[in-house]
Amino acid sequence: MASLKDFRTRIASVKSTQKITKAMQMVAAAKLKRAQEAAEAARPYGEKVAGTVANLAASVKGSDAAPKLLRGSGKDQTHLVVVATSERGLCGGFNTNIVKKARELITSLEAQGKSVKLLTVGKKGRDQLKRLFGAISVGHIEFAGVRSLGSAQSAQVSAKLVEMFDAGEFDVAHLVFSRFRSVISQVPTVQQLLPVVAPEGVKTADIGGGVYSYEPGEEAILEALLPRYLDSQILGALLENAAGFYGAQMGAMDNATRNAGDLIKKLTLQMNRKRQAMITTELTEIIAGAQAV
């Protein structure tokens, strides 16, 4: 049976854990706000690029002059799955959910007889996937120590993708990431990156029946624009992931703090019972002793 001192030490240790999780929750909340702002700030560029791509893609559709990034390699055999996860843990099921989605995608692609390659972005995803899919992994990109995600990071990913695509290493690329719906809800999502899918439902500028003129030419602009579009899609996904990560971490830490609170209550109750039992025993002994005299 644990002594009173044991109870006191345990309560003290749970209390200090609670302090840490509480602090982490508050830090996550502050970072979440910043991550949300960053995702918000990146939106105008993404929308604008998407609109322009939609405009141009419609006009070069079906033409042989269309850039390869849009046209594709003409095959549908090798798929590259890019899995974007966080660098750190302590965020509940956030990474596990993304990994689960990725696993489903890979399994279903393999069932269709496609060959699949895997590129992981973020440490946690690699840790979880390397055991099952280590053999098909073709690379890993990590942003450890990066304080704020920006176009430099997404450019790293998109440059690698374009390089591999040009080398004919894959035909279709998918990105698995977590869409940030709200602080408490992050939805693992699969998005096709390459060949570029012309965005739908974006508002395109009404030029009032006028004719657009392009310099140098439509294809040349598209050629230069598509990598940027890819970039902005990846950046958007990375930023949503970051916001989702902090949201998930906030939730997980809130839970942990509450659990620690419950545990403290339970331990205090047990300790008090023990103390009372000891007092009762002592009293009984004294009374019994007095009666014996």
Instruction: Show contacts with another protein in window 144-183 (CB under 8 A).
Output: 150-151, 154
Among 17, 45, 71, 259, binds another protein (CB under 8 A): 45
Cα(176)–Cα(83) distance, integer angstroms = 5
CB of 174 to another protein, least distance (A): 22
Is 141 in a helix, a strand, or coil? strand
Cα(174)–Cα(194) distance, integer angstroms = 7
The two structure tokens encoding residue 47: 């929308």
CB of 153 to another protein, least distance (A): 11
Cα(265)–Cα(281) distance, integer angstroms = 24
Does 241 participate in binding another protein (rule CB under 8 A)? no
Q: Which stretch binds another protein (CB under 8 A): 16-24, 60-68, 208-216, 255-263?
A: 208-216
Q: How many residues bind another protein (CB under 8 A)?
A: 31
- Dihedral sign, Cα of residue 125, residue 129, residue 140, residue 233: negative
109 labelled catalytic: no
Marked catalytic residue, from 11, 69, 82, 91: 91
Distances 175 to 13, 187, 210, 275 between C-alpha atoms, Å: 42, 13, 37, 59
Among 88, 192, 214, 269, binds another protein (CB under 8 A): 214
Distances 184 to 40, 125, 179, 254, 255 between C-alpha atoms, Å: 18, 21, 12, 11, 12
CB of 8 to another protein, least distance (A): 51
Does 215 participate in binding another protein (rule CB under 8 A)? yes
| DSSP run (H or E) holding 270 | helix 218-292
CA neighbor of 171 nearest in space, from 239, 73, 252, 261 = 73
> CB count, 10 Å around CB of 109?
17
Instruction: Show contacts with another protein in window 261-290 (CB under 8 A).
Output: none
Does 38 participate in binding another protein (rule CB under 8 A)? yes
The two structure tokens encoding residue 153: 């990071």
Whichever of 18 and 154 has its CB closer to another protein, that residue is: 154
Among 144, 211, 288, 292, binds another protein (CB under 8 A): 211
Cα(35)–Cα(106) distance, integer angstroms = 29
Among 62, 113, 201, 208, binds another protein (CB under 8 A): 208
Q: Which stretch binds another protein (CB under 8 A): 40-48, 115-123, 177-185, 188-196?
A: 40-48
Among 210, 289, 291, 292, binds another protein (CB under 8 A): 210
Does 221 participate in binding another protein (rule CB under 8 A)? yes
The two structure tokens encoding residue 67: 């850039």
CA neighbor of 195 nearest in space, from 167, 170, 221, 216 = 170
Residues recognised as catalytic: 91
Site of interaction with another protein (CB under 8 A): 38, 41-42, 44-46, 48-49, 52, 150-151, 154, 205-208, 210-216, 220-221, 224-225, 228, 231-232, 235
